[in-house]
Amino acid sequence: MKKILLALSLIMYASGVLLASPEHKQAAGNHTETVTEETENPQHEATAEAHTAGTEAHGEAADHEANLPPSWLVIPFVALLLMIATGPLFYGNFWHHHYPKIAIGLGLVIAAYYIFVLNNSHQVVHSLFEYISFISLLTALFVSSGGILIGWDKQGTPMANVIMLILGAAIANIIGTTGASMLLIRPFIRLNKERIKPYHVVFFIFMVSNVGGCLTPVGDPPLFLGFLKGVPFEWTIIHVIAKWAFGIGLLAVIFYILDSRDVKLNPVKATPGQKFSGRLGVRGGRNVLFLAITIAAVFLDPNKMDWLPYIPLRHGEHLTKLSFIRELIMFGVAALAYFTSDKECLKRNDFNFEPIKEVAYLFIGIFGTMMPALQLVEHFAAVNPQYITTNTLYWFTGSLSGVLDNAPTYMNFMSAAIGKYGYDLNNLSSVTAFTVEHIPELTAISVASVFFGAMTYIGNAPNFMVKSIAEQIGIEMPSFVAYIVKYSLPFLLPVLFLTWLAFFVF
């Protein structure tokens, strides 16, 4: 974690130096003086206003083009994805010892190019803040749920497994996919301890860590970003619940068939005299409160707290509040939860920080290296509005959500869809109007960004955490490529296709 903090400090320092550049401030001042002189003459007032508007529009377009990264800058991102896919399989020892350096190093290369070549420190700072918000929420949910011990005294039958997966999918909408995954993955593995297979964990990732969290803004990060932009809280439940039930239902049926077949082929011999009471037990109630505090903190908006100062970016612009009050609360909850949790619960859950460390290292590299990819995607959508349809939004948002972080992917395609119809993403009433008049487009973006997150281990952060926990327990999980070839393509992709066919074509 020290390496991560050092990297963050270096980026923040470099960004601060550039943002405080006197040349930049002087240029902004000169521009202001010129505009003032031109508008003092009343005879030229109308001309000046038109010229100013045209100059601003042209300037924004020119700035966007100037700051657009070259396409070859996506190479570090592709390289990182390839190494995540091949490292554990072909050079496991090297990857295990050096992946933090590789991920942070590639992220710093892209950050340096943005700051010193593209002169776009705004993008770097913005991505850094998103990462801090991202990792603070995951850490709080991970540590808080690690101190809760759930036990179900029941044999792991196919029906019992299906019930637990569906309940986990529902709970994901209350405490998020990360919270539900961390809370239930160990009880789910214990339920099937005598016959646990990789497919059990993979379908847990499908249903609990991804598709399940599609009903509320709390369920998955992209939906929460939409909520902050003005999508009503109840909108997702109203317009997505049928797709959620359809997707979860299909996955449950597929899992039940696979699990029933496994029971027939590999029957578990019952222990003489063993009886199951069916009782459900929960221990570590204090940590439930920590989970509640974490979820409540999600709804804090520092930008509405007038007593907090802003972080200045350019002349007359700002990014966010100076104090990470929401993130500080979450990190504080994580620390408090760890030091006050029932030690017996932590021990029986085999709790350690390795899963969250792996996510922290890899995703700081992903957040850094994916900046060019996201910008190029956004630019393509902006200059090619003819491609922005319900169908393309579903498949493009989904495909990229499988390999990029689904939260910024959701925002980019939502921005493209809103822009096509002349709405403003930063105007609350405009976003609200869009949610009423263009329901199919926003529904396609919402469903795809969440559902497709299960296509790879990196589509959503809980995927990697669940995989890491399962491997520590001793389950031989499929590699990055094997996960896609053996499970995502034959089982998940048909569900995604049928969802599209049932709700967005007919």
Per residue in 236-278, pLDDT (tens digit) is 999 999 999 999 999 999 999 999 999 998 887 666 556 666 6
* Structure-token pair, residue 147: 């101190």
Percent of the chain surpassing pLDDT 70? 80
Question: If pLDDT is split at 50, 70 and 90, which confidence band does 311 have?
Answer: low
pLDDT in tens, 401-438: 988 778 778 887 888 888 788 787 767 888 889 999 99
Q: Is residue 496 part of a domain?
A: yes
Q: Is residue 328 part of a domain?
A: yes
Cα(471)–Cα(90) distance, integer angstroms: 17
Angle (CA) 73-74-77 rounded to 5° is: 125
pLDDT at position 58: 42
Instruction: Return the closest-CA partner of residue 410 out of 449, 464, 358, 357.
Output: 449
| Mean pLDDT for all residues in the chain | 82
Cα(333)–Cα(286) distance, integer angstroms: 12
Q: Is residue 248 part of a domain?
A: yes
Cα(416)–Cα(445) distance, integer angstroms: 11
Going along 27-102, which residue ranges are E strands? none
3-state SS of 201-236 is HHHHHHHCCCHHHHCCCCCCHHHHHHHHHCCCHHHH
pLDDT in tens, 348-402: 888 889 888 988 998 899 889 988 887 887 787 778 888 889 999 999 999 989 8
Positive or negative torsion for Cα 235, 242, 138, 222: negative
Cα(470)–Cα(155) distance, integer angstroms: 19
Cβ neighbours around 109 below 10 Å, total = 16
Is 363 exposed, middle or buried, given 0-12, 13-18 or 19+ CB atoms closer than 10 A? buried
pLDDT winner (highest mean) among 122-136, 151-165, 480-494: 480-494
Instruction: Return the closest-CA partner of residue 429 out of 440, 420, 439, 418.
Output: 418
For the packed helices 121-146 and 2-19, what is the interaxial angle rounded to 10 degrees? 150
pLDDT in tens, 146-205: 898 888 877 779 999 999 999 999 999 988 898 899 889 999 999 998 899 999 999 999
> Which residues touch 73 (CB under 8 Å, ≥6 apart)?
110, 113, 372
Cα(124)–Cα(488) distance, integer angstroms: 33
Average pLDDT over residues 481-493: 96
Q: Is residue 458 part of a domain?
A: yes
Cα(206)–Cα(219) distance, integer angstroms: 14
Q: Is residue 451 part of a domain?
A: yes
Cβ neighbours around 358 below 10 Å, total = 18
Q: Residue 149 forms beta bridges with which residues?
A: 283
Is 418 exposed, middle or buried, given 0-12, 13-18 or 19+ CB atoms closer than 10 A? buried
Percent of the chain surpassing pLDDT 90? 42
- In angstroms, the Cα distances linking 87 to 90, 99, 199, 361 are 6, 9, 22, 15
pLDDT winner (highest mean) among 99-108, 354-363, 462-471: 99-108
> Residue 151: helix, strand or coil by DSSP?
strand
pLDDT at position 60: 45
- pTM to 2 decimals? 0.74
Cα(146)–Cα(151) distance, integer angstroms: 14
pLDDT at position 91: 85
Q: Is residue 32 part of a domain?
A: no
pLDDT at position 27: 38
pLDDT at position 285: 85
Question: If pLDDT is split at 50, 70 and 90, which confidence band does 34 have?
Answer: very low
- More confident call, 187 vs 3: 187
* Structure-token pair, residue 358: 């792996």
The total number of structural domains that make up the chain: 1
Label the pairing between strands 280-283 and 310-312: unpaired
Which residue segment(s) compose the domain that 345 sits in? Answer: 75-267+276-506
pLDDT at position 44: 42
pLDDT at position 6: 43
pLDDT at position 68: 83
Q: Is residue 24 part of a domain?
A: no
Q: Is residue 436 part of a domain?
A: yes
3-state SS of 376-425 is HHHHHHHHCHHHCCHHHHHHHHHHHHCCCCHHHHHHHHHHHHHHHCCCCC
Q: Among all chains, which residue has been given the structure tokens 């998955």?
A: 220
Is 427 exposed, middle or buried, given 0-12, 13-18 or 19+ CB atoms closer than 10 A? middle
- More confident call, 47 vs 211: 211
- More confident call, 40 vs 453: 453
